[in-house]
Amino acid sequence: MPVDLRLYAIVDPEHAGEHTLPDLAKLVAAGGATLVQLRDKRSDTRVMVDTARAVKAVLAPFGVPLLVNDRVDVALAAEADGVHVGQTDMAPEDARRLLGPKAIIGLSINTEALAEAAPIDLIDYVGIGGVYATISKDQKKPPIGVDGLRRIVSVFQRRKSNFPSCAIAGINAANAGATITAGADGVSVISALSLAADPTVAAKTMRAVVDQALTARNRQ
């Protein structure tokens, strides 16, 4: 089954507000998140595995898959649904070999050259960006903007029609629609959900924006 990227929530202990990660994952899933990623750059491996298991448990009633950022070993130990890897993490080929054919594997892309080289037969989706400036991650390169997103999406559509992609970095309810209009199938969000006064309401709002933009795009 194709991965549903419409509202891809990332839970990160450094940007979780007053919430535990399992509680935050439950709140955004209740609001309509379609995919959740655990991103933790600092915790010990054992802590990450325990957290991943707890997050997976709260997502199960919603039918929302859990991915782990970077750490294939943690995904394996916690029996997560897959991983998201960057350009300097484990190669998608190795992640696929270790996780098997049913795992969801995503790959970060920020240039047209990387889009041309991406092993699309081994991955399930790409995260494209950073589209906008973000406080959730140290951006080493300037944002690619909506135009950059559109160009990268077009590479994937040429290579494989309807290949799934989501926009990442700096996404909020005000700008999410523009990324969908540019060709993304969904948005990957951290702070606009986790730091909101009510993450469930924020997720509902964001999901409504994405769904409306997808409907409008499909009518064209």
User: What positions carry a catalytic annotation?
Assistant: 39, 108, 137
Q: CA torsion angle for 36, 40, 41, 47 (degrees, to 10)?
A: -150
Contact residues for 94 (Cβ-Cβ < 8 A; gap 6+):
72
Q: What is the DSSP letter of 14?
A: G
Kindly report the CA angle at 124 between 25 and 153, in degrees rounded to 5?
100
- Eight-state DSSP code of residue 172: -
User: Look-up: residue for tokens 């037969």?
Assistant: 121
CA dist., res. 184 & res. 152, Å (int): 10
Burial of 160 (0-12, 13-18, 19+ CB in 10 A): exposed
Taking the C-alpha atoms of residue 153 and residue 71, their distance in angstroms, rounded to an integer, is 26
